Structure 1
Amino acid sequence: MNGTETGRDEAAGESGAARDGRVERGNQTRRLVMRRAADIASVEGLDGLTIGRLATELSLSKSGVFALFGSKEELQLATVRAARRIFLDHVAFPALDVPGGRERLLALCRNWLAYSRERVFPGGCFFFAVAAEFDSRPGPVRDAIVAARLEWVAYIEDGVRAATEAGELPAGTDPGQVAFELIALMEGANGESLLSASPLAYERAERAIARVLSA
């Protein structure tokens, strides 16, 4: 290989490294924006999000943030997706290390209560907050929130089925009914704790959940 070819290869390598660096910086910026957006939405709702506000709070250029999303609706949808990943990381995935059936169900519920109690999002459960905001507003954002909720309900229902098949719950147990009761207890604790700033609601919810799963 002659010197010219070597120079071209080195230049190409430097150019590729520069592109990789820009991509990684772009990804870091997007993660930063998404985390802040999810935190804001958990307190003020998705309508509280604006590209200008995020740019100002994070000391970023408005044009740079706009380039990541392009519209307020896409920003809202991206925020829902980011919140879903955070939720799964804190609630669903850790429970996979627990044997299936009743113990995994209990782990899912305890993880959810911890996720709310420890304020992974400052407004408590992100999806509890935005569901109330969009429950009667049809459109892509509501559809994304509904999809995330159905996914969570399915996790619980699958756990109920596994526990029933293992003989840990009575034969004929209705997975949908048990999932409804468990989720109602968890969301009730979340709402009560936000109003009262007391951890007592979580303790009561955990005791009630244990009773439901020992029936």
Structure 2
Amino acid sequence: MSKGDSTKRVILDEATEIASKVGLQGLTIGTLATRTELSKSGLFAHFRSKESLQLDVLRHARERFVDLVVRPALAAPRGERRVRALFEHWLAWCRGDVLGGGCIFTAAAAEFDDQPGPVRDLLVNDERDLADTVAQVFRTGITEGHFRAEADPYQFAQDLHGILLAYIHSARLLGDPMAEQRAARSFEALLAAAR
């Protein structure tokens, strides 16, 4: 990795952390310059615009999500154990174990759901890819005989995502100390319904 790539990665790590707390709209080159102790002109040379910075942050966050959630889940044995691993790693991501502000994608979806443009387009593509991934992981559970043959993998993906969104709302907004246990119970009920 070149020095420029290494520097950009450090900048994107910091930018992603900031955006997880203040949102992509709240992320500015000025704030990033202060936090990284780099000049605004130096940062501008890396990103050229706020939109470019937002897109790079989302791509960087996606790479981290894949590395910390998807790949470890895919390393688990096929079927229900893989589905469980996916849930556990995704829950850790939402809990804020990785980014102090929690799931950057959930916040960005709320910010950009009705704002056409490249940032929204990237979010939509990434969310669709995630649904496809969850559906495929679940589908292997059907193949392994762990889940009913007629179970709908995309319904499972939506329901699992719904559990995690409810967890984020309960834990982060409402401060419910039972949020994680409730999410775990909802997950177990979802698995039971799929068996």
Fold shared by both chains (TM-score > 0.5): yes
The partner residue of 1:160 within 135, 138, 144 is 138
User: More displaced, 190-199 or 30-39?
Assistant: 190-199
Residue 198 of structure 1, CA deviation? 4.1
Alignment-derived partner of residue 67 in structure 1 = 45
- Aligned 8 A contact 1:113 1:186 in 2: yes
Q: Which residue of 1 aligns with 2:89?
A: 111
Shift, 1:118, TM fit:
4.0
Give 1:28 deviation, angstroms.
Answer: 2.2
The residue number in structure 1 matching 2:18 is 40
**Partner of residue 30, structure 2:** 52
1:89 positional shift: 1.4
Partner of 1:137: 115
| Counterpart AA for 1:115 | W
For structure 1, the residue ranges without an aligned partner over 5 or more in a row are 1-22
Q: Which residue of structure 2 aligns with residue 94 of structure 1?
A: 72
Aligned to 1:3: none
Is contact 2:96-2:103 (8 Å) kept?
A: no
Equivalent residue in structure 1 for 2:129, among 137, 146, 151: 151
Q: Secondary structure at the match of 1:124?
A: coil
- State the secondary structure of the residue aligned to 1:96: helix
> Which moved further from structure 2: 52-61 or 76-85?
52-61
Shift >6 Å, 4+ stretches? none
**Distance in 1 between residues matched to 2:169 and 2:9, nearest whole Å:** 28
User: Is the 1:36–1:54 Cα contact (8 Å) retained in structure 2?
Assistant: yes
Query: Whole-Å Cα distance in 2 between the matches of residues 184 and 151 of structure 1?
Result: 16
Q: 1:206 matched to which residue of 2?
A: 184
Supply the distance in 2 between the matched residues of 1:82 and 1:37 (Cα, whole angstroms): 10
Q: Does the aligned pair in 2 maintain the 1:190–1:202 contact within 8 Å? A: no
Separation in structure 2 between the aligned mates of residue 179 and residue 203 of structure 1, nearest angstrom: 20
In structure 1, C-alpha distance between the alignment counterparts of 2:124 and 2:24, rounded to whole Å? 15
Say if 2:153 is the partner of 1:175.
Answer: yes
The Cα of 1:196 is off from its aligned counterpart by 3.2
CA-atom RMSD, angstroms? Answer: 1.4
Mark the runs of 5 or more structure 2 residues left unpaired by the alignment. Answer: none
Matched, 1:85 2:60: no
Over residues 87-118 of structure 1, what are the superposed CA-to-partner deviations in whole Å (9 max), with x where a residue is unaligned? 11111011122111111011101111112224
Letter in 1 for 2:6: Q
Q: Which is higher, the Rg of structure 1 or of structure 2?
A: 1
- CA deviation digits over 1:56-75, x for unaligned, max 9? 22110111111111111111
Output one character per residue of 1:158-179: Cα deviation in whole Å (capped at 9) or x when no partner: 1221111222111211111111
> TM-score, normalising length from structure 1?
0.85
Q: Judge conservation of contact 2:94–2:102 (CA < 8 Å) in 1.
A: yes
Correspondence for 1:127: 105
Tell me by how many angstroms 1:157 deviates.
0.5
CA displacement at 1:199 relative to structure 2: 4.4
For 2:51 and 2:101, locate their aligned partners in 1 and report how far apart those are by CA, in whole Å: 21
CA contact (8 A) 1:193 1:201 kept: yes
Given the alignment, which residue of 184, 189, 201 partners 2:162?
184
- 1:91-148 residue CA offsets vs partner (Å, 9 max, x unmatched): 1011122111111011101111112224311221110110000001111000111111
